[in-house]
Amino acid sequence: MEVSVTTSSVPDTAVEIRLASRPEGWPTTDNFDIVEAPVPEPGPGQLLVRNKVMSVDPYMRGRMSAAKSYVAPFEIGQPLDGGAVGEVVRSNSDDFSPGQSVLHSLGWREYAVVDATQATAVSSEFPPSAFLGVLGMPGMTAYVGLMDKARFQQGDTVFVSGAAGAVGSLVGQLAKLGGAERVIGSAGSPEKVRLLTERFGFDAAFNYKDAPVGEQLRAAAPNGIDVYFDNVGGDHLEAAIGSMNDFGRIAACGAISQYNATEAQPGPRNMFQFVTKRLSMQGFIVNDNTHLKRDFFEHVAPLVREGRISYEETSVDGIRKAPEAFLGVLRGDNTGKMLVNIA
Amino acid sequence: MEVSVTTSSVPDTAVEIRLASRPEGWPTTDNFDIVEAPVPEPGPGQLLVRNKVMSVDPYMRGRMSAAKSYVAPFEIGQPLDGGAVGEVVRSNSDDFSPGQSVLHSLGWREYAVVDATQATAVSSEFPPSAFLGVLGMPGMTAYVGLMDKARFQQGDTVFVSGAAGAVGSLVGQLAKLGGAERVIGSAGSPEKVRLLTERFGFDAAFNYKDAPVGEQLRAAAPNGIDVYFDNVGGDHLEAAIGSMNDFGRIAACGAISQYNATEAQPGPRNMFQFVTKRLSMQGFIVNDNTHLKRDFFEHVAPLVREGRISYEETSVDGIRKAPEAFLGVLRGDNTGKMLVNIA
């Protein structure tokens, strides 16, 4: 039996953000269309969700291009998508009731019709935004990359780039809590660098714009590094290879330095050190690792609950600001998780 | 009780090759001194070995430089060293008798004083040179890299560079015998390319000097590759990353394209594909893997005995030719294992 229940009045039309055109190099607001469109009706087994908060993430830049990648590209003329938390306003599923908060993947719109099988109820113990950050995809990315791909061990010296972001700040804190010998982070502003040492407990941090990364990393890690968590690529990767100790491990998570490049960027000139120092590197995508989701939540949620892990959020208000928030995350305007408050 | 037994007359002096100077870029014969030196006396627990055949290997180039690496550099004014098989002529060890053949690491000289603990008796079932090639360090390198580091599986498409060398030719054959879907090799001459398909059973092979490596690899592996065994580095590595299928694996063994470079060479410009395709790369050095030595021998020796594995040797006669043989291996003059017949 299908039950359609409405808790609040739903407007006839609502805002969604569509891909207007594919960017060459850096995207601009012209690549997005802000459209008032009819609010769709949920079909059998579906929910109508009023989105409260949505995520903008660097990986979305790849989806703006047509090239085949690990997630399907956005389609021109269609709304973008991405992680969001909202409130169920109509339910055609026995598993969800109006008023419940759910995590789903149809952000970039005020109202979303979501298959009940694609929605996850979220606990009110944590703020909704936590499920888009420290307890969501970015948090899981940090956990999987550090623990599984880089095979972190107590006593390691760990370097993470993009360290003030949602992923990087958790990598550093998990490493410290796990008994790292030393944790070093790089970021792109003096404020972020200060945050790394003063709030997130990094042992050392530097601004990659101040001087060559290799030089700053050698100064920050005079005894070398054992693990590198790469969010940036480019000269950060070359610097990390150069500072690696024997049997060092690299988790390759992202390359934000290259997402908007219009031609191929120079690669690391020191790849032969993979042989001489027996290095390993493992590229990964968080979605391949759902078997670790329970481990992640059981490891990280108590640390968040107890206040032993800090997280930062940068948010903008109003869905019409979502394109600007996204451009900001590519420029590094955010500290911690970049969010768009919708409702 | 020490027993010193002599089976044949030993001269007072014999030839050894010493490092005269460290090369900048490509070495020349001027970097070597050919010296007539007194034949030393074995001390307690030592053997005097008359070398019959010795190995010249690309990795020795690294040891000619002063830079710290995974093996100690050669010392100026001292004899070089490296794998050799010889006959025991005097023994101060109960474990060895004159007349026995032993494998040891003090090549580059006609007579060597070897600690008995550093010598391995070798079976007369195989020619002595086999213990410097297919059943020795190069063979073990191929086995460890393919099976353990690249985690080869039946059905994989495998690409190996430097495929006509001692290591590469075994990698290709082990992959074929292990059920590879397709095995592709690159080499540097038409003769070697022909040998790969006609003798070693590769499915496809190309001359990397004929056209860009990426283009030739795409043509040879239209469905992509799952494993890359890297002996070369440089543009071969970039091409392999470009042709990798999802979850592909790279064993980084050597980078002969770069050993004589006087400045840093460009790196792969497509490192971000490590993320999108979830690639892994593992650098290794055979000496770290002695726990696999028995597996290796039990796997490969029967295949050699049954004639199911072929190997090629290129040899020069006379220890005075050793420097030229070594320069030849760096230029790729050899097919299969490069050897120097001493006695």
Q: Say what the pLDDT of residue A2 is.
A: 47
Q: Say what the pLDDT of residue B9 is.
A: 85
Which of A62, A233, A277 faces B283 most closely, judged by CB atoms?
A277
Band of residue A273 on the pLDDT scale cut at 50, 70, 90: very high
**B268/A268 CB distance under 8 A:** yes
Question: Which CATH class for the B13-129+311-341 domain?
Answer: alpha beta
Residue type at position A53: V
**A265/B269 CB distance under 8 A:** yes
Partners of residue B239 in chain A, C-beta under 8 Å: none
Q: Say what the pLDDT of residue A4 is.
A: 52
Partners of residue B69 in chain A, C-beta under 8 Å: 276
**What percent of chain A shows pLDDT beyond 90?**
89
Interface of A with B (CB under 8 A): 62, 69-70, 233, 237-238, 252-255, 258, 264-285, 288
Q: Say what the pLDDT of residue A212 is.
A: 98
Partners of residue A68 in chain B, C-beta under 8 Å: none
Is residue A174's pLDDT more than 60?
A: yes
Choose among A13, A22, A133: nearest CA to A85: A133
- Sort strands B244-252 and B280-283 into parallel, antiparallel or unpaired: parallel
The pLDDT of B333-337, averaged and rounded, is: 88
Could you state, in order of their start, the residue ranges of all structural domains in chain A?
13-130+312-341, 137-287
Most A CBs within 10 A among B275, B280, B285, hence the mutation to make, goes to B275
Q: Say what the pLDDT of residue A334 is.
A: 87
What ipTM does this complex have? Answer: 0.90
Is residue B105's pLDDT more than 80?
A: yes
The pLDDT of B224-232, averaged and rounded, is: 97
Interface of B with A (CB under 8 A): 62, 69-70, 233, 237-238, 252-255, 258, 264-285, 288
Tell me the CATH number for domain A137-287. 3.40.50.720
**A266/B271 CB distance under 8 A:** no
Is residue A320's pLDDT more than 80?
A: yes
Signed CA dihedral, B35, B38, B43, B47: sign only: positive
Is residue B208's pLDDT more than 60?
A: yes
Is residue A13's pLDDT more than 60?
A: yes
**A265/B267 CB distance under 8 A:** no
Compute the count of residue pairs across chains A and B with CB atoms less than 8 Å apart: 104
Rg (C-alpha) for chain B, rounded Å, is 21
The pLDDT of A55-77, averaged and rounded, is: 89
Is residue B119's pLDDT more than 80?
A: yes
Q: Å from B277 to nearest chain A CA?
A: 7
Q: Say what the pLDDT of residue B15 is.
A: 98
> For A114-128, A212-226, B32-46, B66-80, which range has the lowest pLDDT when averaged over its residues?
B66-80
CA dihedral of residues A91, A95, A99, A105 (deg, nearest 10): -80
Is residue A5's pLDDT more than 70?
A: no
Q: Say what the pLDDT of residue B8 is.
A: 63
Tell me the CATH number for domain A13-130+312-341. 3.90.180.10
Higher pLDDT, A261 or A266: A266
Q: What is the mean pLDDT of chain B?
A: 94
CA atoms within 13 A on the CB side of A253: 35
Q: Say what the pLDDT of residue B335 is.
A: 87
The pLDDT of B185-211, averaged and rounded, is: 97
Integer Cα distance of B341 and B319 in angstroms: 7
Which of A267, A279, A283 faces B268 most closely, judged by CB atoms?
A267
Q: Å from B178 to nearest chain A CA?
A: 25
Q: Say what the pLDDT of residue B1 is.
A: 41
Partners of residue B261 in chain A, C-beta under 8 Å: none
